[in-house]
Structure 1
């Protein structure tokens, strides 16, 4: 490694081909891939080696959700012909199972950094000039790293707004909720989005009383009405209280002891009290305190790093990746961001525009979608044929006693699939199969005429695309 002249901090900058700030999904794969190609790479991480997904987000939450699924099977034991004298949830055991998984995942990440040849730098990194990052190391020392190219992948964190008393109540975010060792007696959740709803169902199944307070008048208000209604019905049946169309006015007390929310609904104020409070109202980009102004990196009006369709920032040789770049906040999108930057660094033109954005919410049953929804198609004036069946029409669901929900697909005038939504068991897997057909540009008839194994959930796609469609015309002049 070569070094340049001593900086004005008295620290000699170390020169790299690539410096990556953060080790999240896209950032780590970029570092590993280029380092294996012989590129001199340094990755800076303050705490979560591997980023949020293996440590405090996707995988840990799905681990807890699966424990809740197992608990739900115990509760339904008689339905499967099994006599049970009852069961008790050991929340410490649930959390320890999650911790064991996280430790194994982090160990894998550490080995990947070691074997790839990346210089993993542990500490708080911030810009002190263009493409020059100072790191206050976790061991108390300081280093400066300069990259021919620099990639910013600092992610986002849970938003805590200025609601009176909220911060003082020391509420849980998803991070603390994943570390609970005792089960909340009554969990209050502010926010009816992905995080809020996944935690709501999981904690209810593990034994907590749960109340969700949502400012919009419908759950998942951006989804089609039938999706929103189906989710609300699910939560009603699982005895999760929903307070919709409610704006939180103030919070009092302390989460973990006793905490109260005062909210307004239909012009009337009311108060609800619980033992714990979880805030799941959105994400805030991690862009403060990292010297972006010194780097020449501009922000959008929403506080995310301003990037073009190739993920270049406003500063030469400086890129942003994943959530902090304003990309859709999914791990799989961050991974695709890695491909975009990798290719552009290699001189290939690769852009983020026009890509598919699939998603799955891991409630039980799952909600999965890719492509156009009915709401989106109507707003764009796109004509479509709607194929829709209840999940019970997929015979595999009957063997599983998992018949709740439906699947529906939009098909264009050229017989290509415009989008699919599945609210049902293993919805993400079913959606992914259709997404592959969409990527290949196959007509829906290819799935309708396919020979698929019986009885599998995928076989339901034959039933779906053999059903009688409803024709919805596009915009007229």
Structure 2
């Protein structure tokens, strides 16, 4: 084996947390190498968060234009040019690539495009994308390899060449009938987006509700909204087999409570979960252990089982959100410098970018019950928030979980306009340990969506 090039830090994968760490360490004078096999900046700016929200916004514009007459604007026939939708998205991706390349240049961290494979402890062999091999060794190594879409073992599915979110965002046409396997967060976002582009859409969900981690009332409200836009939703529907080829004609046979039925469509999107990108990269050669699900085993400081090895983001089981990967970066950054940052004391929010969006932070009602935590629950329909009278955005509700023993806010969920922004107010209050009456009695600007927090919190039952 040839002599390895030595670096202070070698980072495998250029996702959100890994690149932030690389730029920080590079600016600090460390010799840093980042190995990335495909996407400069990782999946988020290239094929996931940003591109999907870009196209979802285009779908929202199409929806508003089609319904413009309701607001007094008269238009002619409306048609979506999916080529332009994709071009707009790609223009954004290109700008992101340029930004990332400049950030690497300015930080001094070296970006190496190629596929990395461990050949020993803290030693990577990299097959370069433009040919050749490099051998890299680091005093410390960080794994930031992410996840990929799971493809379930269903007869005929692989042969059907189904879309994942990556391929779906490259379509230059609206499928005549898109079948979506999976009613989770990605599935419902993509289903609504393509419905608004003009596709007929059917969601097939094996569970008893959409978005299985949410309270039943939230899942029912999202289903009502999607059904109101003409999306067919099949629950308790277990896929049995797939026939045909996505992009031509495809059918999915499902087993339901009423028996077996066949759903016929033109295109098939699989959105049933994620699998860690930990197979085939030589982790056993480096002595790096995986857990039972195939994720890198780490402690609460994000240290792997091998000394000098860290992991960031989805590949080590962190919640699958870009903002969590950013916080993982902060934890590893500080702990590399001798700090004591941990992952088990975080308050993690998230937003599902349906329209209206779903946002949540802290405990849901069902989680509080499952954990045996006494709680008081209050809800407020969005139709009772005065701003929605002006905007006609009356779908959804706000919901708060408050401790039954004191006045701490334990959790908040919302389906409604600007849900993510309103949730941030509750998150700040929770982080500050603010008792809910302080926020209930705050003077909040009129006419805003956040103004609804006052009447919501006024609905909290008194302590018994």
Please show how residues 255-270 of structure 1 align to structure 2 within 5 Å: 255-266=246-257, 268-270=259-261
- How many residues align? The count is 463
Gaps of 5+ in 1: 1-7
CA separation in 1, counterparts of 2:159 and 2:4? 41
Compared CA separation, residues 219 and 472, structure 1 to 2 (3 A): farther
Out of 12, 20, 37, the position equivalent to 1:21 is 12
Q: Kindly state the Cα deviation for residue 472 of structure 1 after the two structures are TM-superposed.
A: 8.9
1:414 is matched with 406
2:182 is matched with 191
Kindly indicate whether the alpha-carbon contact (under 8 Å) linking 2:176 and 2:200 is maintained by their aligned counterparts in 1. Answer: yes
Q: Deviations over 1:78-125 (max 9, x none)?
A: 110111122111011111110001111111011101100001111011
Q: TM-score, normalised by structure 2?
A: 0.98
Q: Deviations over 1:352-406 (max 9, x none)?
A: 1121121110000111000111101111222222221111222112222111110
Please show how residues 312-351 of structure 1 align to structure 2 within 5 Å: 312-351=303-342
Out of 194, 212, 215, the position equivalent to 1:221 is 212
The answer to whether residue 431 in structure 2 is matched with residue 439 in structure 1 is yes
2:82 is matched with 91
Q: Give SS of 1:293's match.
A: coil
CA separation in 2, counterparts of 1:46 and 1:297? 20
CA separation in 2, counterparts of 1:51 and 1:446? 41
Please show how residues 168-187 of structure 1 align to structure 2 within 5 Å: 168-187=159-178
Q: Deviations over 1:262-300 (max 9, x none)?
A: 111116111111000000011111011110000000111
Kindly indicate whether the alpha-carbon contact (under 8 Å) linking 1:386 and 1:471 is maintained by their aligned counterparts in 2. Answer: no
Q: TM-score, normalised by structure 1?
A: 0.95
1:463 is matched with 455
Q: Kindly state the Cα deviation for residue 12 of structure 1 after the two structures are TM-superposed.
A: 2.1
Please show how residues 151-162 of structure 1 align to structure 2 within 5 Å: 151-162=142-153
Q: Give SS of 1:369's match.
A: strand
2:415 is matched with 423
CA separation in 2, counterparts of 1:385 and 1:163? 43
Q: Kindly state the Cα deviation for residue 450 of structure 1 after the two structures are TM-superposed.
A: 1.6
CA separation in 2, counterparts of 1:367 and 1:149? 39
CA separation in 2, counterparts of 1:221 and 1:312? 31
CA separation in 2, counterparts of 1:227 and 1:127? 44
1:3 is matched with none
CA separation in 2, counterparts of 1:71 and 1:229? 25
Kindly indicate whether the alpha-carbon contact (under 8 Å) linking 2:402 and 2:460 is maintained by their aligned counterparts in 1. Answer: no
Kindly indicate whether the alpha-carbon contact (under 8 Å) linking 2:377 and 2:460 is maintained by their aligned counterparts in 1. Answer: yes
Superposed CA RMSD: 1.2
Q: Give SS of 1:294's match.
A: coil
Compared CA separation, residues 75 and 30, structure 1 to 2 (3 A): same
After TM superposition, the structure 1 stretch with the greater mean CA deviation from structure 2, 373-382 or 15-24, is: 373-382
CA separation in 1, counterparts of 2:217 and 2:348? 21
2:46 is matched with 55
CA separation in 2, counterparts of 1:171 and 1:265? 22
Q: Kindly state the Cα deviation for residue 471 of structure 1 after the two structures are TM-superposed.
A: 6.2
Kindly indicate whether the alpha-carbon contact (under 8 Å) linking 2:184 and 2:212 is maintained by their aligned counterparts in 1. Answer: no
Gaps of 5+ in 2: none
Q: Give SS of 1:388's match.
A: strand
Out of 17, 21, 24, the position equivalent to 1:33 is 24
CA separation in 2, counterparts of 1:312 and 1:367? 33
CA separation in 2, counterparts of 1:241 and 1:257? 20
